[in-house]
Amino acid sequence: MSASFDSTEHPHRRFNALAGEWVLVSPHRSKRPWQGQQEEPEQEHRPAYDPTCYLCPGNSRVGGEQNPKYESTYVFNNDFGALTPDVPTGGLNEGGLLRAEAESGVCRVICFSPRHDLTLPQMTVPAIRKVVDLWVEEFAMLGARPDINYVQIFENKGPMMGCSNPHPHGQIWAQRTVPGEPAKETTQQLAYFQEHGRTLLADYLKIELEKKERVVLENEHFVVLVPFWAVWPFETIIISRRAVQDITQLTDDERTALADAVRRLTIRYDNLFNISFPYSAGLHQRPTDGQEHPEWHLHMHFYPPLLRSATVRKFMVGYEMLGDPQRDVTPEFSAGRLREQSEVHYKGVPAE
């Protein structure tokens, strides 16, 4: 690169060390006028209890089961799960080109709160800590099964991310094989650990904490930052300071610190455009295949789609589908925008 290169102005590529892929950054494009699609912000006025909601306490679900009148978190098998445990083994292979294999697993739904009108940023740290504890229990229980080799815990928030029910909830898909994204991360982290004897994210976090350019917030046990290789405009990652392989290894204080980090980050998201900020988020942790996986370092991804405002979103089309992922604002710019947000929710926090 020439001496006059400026990463805040000129297009460039950044390497995603965690996935082994490249992303194109085009900061000059953020200045172009937007005449594309405008989204309708989500309707935020919801009751604390909705008699038509299939996730509210005491209500009947679509499949006919009735929820208990739960007062905290609640988890159940998805009535229409994408994976089922009773799939017969088998598959097909025609010339090595037409390949398919049976895939079994379990899909679970986690209700974060009995309150229909709350989201994670509107919940207290103790309430979110109960969600973290349930994540731990479910990971331990599902991961111990011999037919489960990966447990994916995630949340889709908002209709823009395909969430069909506004009641605060997440999901767990546990399956026989390791999905593509964590498989890439396993490969990259293992290669780094074998060469350096340290986790990739431990060394990456050290660099980020020295530079402070992309750090959004931190507490005693976790750091929230916009990754150097971020694809989505306000993408973030929560990284544990201590290199643990999965959420079951967190201490009591670390579980509370994770709840604190999630709450503080999601409040900043909501305050960014004064809306209930949509995103897909999920924990990435070691496969549950019986191996120790010392190369793995627990972290949580947040992928929000909004770009410029509550009504302008980032689309992954054209070049992104055919070439590489691409973003129009630098990760440093996005981190700065998130850092400057208040940690007091713009709507206040309702009593639970």
Q: How many Å apart are CA 293 and CA 243, to the nearest integer? A: 11
d(CA 228, CA 73): 35
- Taking the C-alpha atoms of residue 303 and residue 282, their distance in angstroms, rounded to an integer, is 9
Of 14, 59, 68, nearest in space to 229 by CA? 14
Q: At what angle do helices 252-273 and 331-339 cross, to 10 degrees?
A: 100
**CA-CA distance, 140 to 247, in Å (whole number)?**
9
Contacts by 179-187, CB closer than 8 A, 24 or more apart:
179/150, 179/152, 181/19, 181/284, 182/150, 182/152, 182/284, 182/287, 184/18, 184/19, 184/20, 184/21, 185/18, 185/19, 185/284, 185/296, 186/287, 186/293, 186/295, 186/296, 187/20
Which residues are catalytically annotated? Answer: 169
Tokens of 115: 């309150």
Cα 23 from chain centroid (whole Å): 19
Q: Which of 202, 216, 218, 245 is nearest to 304 (CA)?
A: 216
The span from the CA of 282 to the CA of 142, in Å, is 16
Is residue 17 within 8 A of residue 188, CB to CB? The reply is yes
d(CA 283, CA 246): 9
Helix (H) or strand (E) holding 110: strand 105-111
